[in-house]
Amino acid sequence: MNFDSNNPKLNDDRFKKFEVRKVDIEKEFGEKLVWNFKEGRTSQKIRYEIKGGGIINEKEWNNIQEIMINKMKKFVQSTQKYIAELSI
């Protein structure tokens, strides 16, 4: 998830609203996420890193894509109720 509006303060505020729910989000997601906040940066990020893949290992592409799809669905499921609470 990338908080990247043209308003850095809004991005920080939105990130922090999710960070307050970090335990609940990660519990529902089922794994730890990378919470990437840097003061003064224009955008803030929450992500999941898939290990053991990459562009070079072509034999694993189908498996990696399946993992990516499943993790994206789980990420949406674990964050969508909080997205709905954000002001636009």
Task: Output the pTM of the full model.
Answer: 0.87
CB of 48 within 8 A of CB of 75? yes
pLDDT of res. 88: 62
Phi, psi of 49 (to 5 degrees): -105, 125
Report the distance separating Cα 19 and Cα 35, nearest Å: 8
Residue 54's region, left for phi above 0, alpha for psi from -120 to 50, else beta, is left
As a whole number of angstroms, the longest Cα–Cα distance in the chain is 43
Q: How confident is the prediction along the chain (88 residues), in pLDDT tens digits per residue?
A: 999 999 999 999 999 999 999 999 999 999 999 999 999 899 999 999 988 777 888 888 999 999 999 999 999 999 999 998 887 6
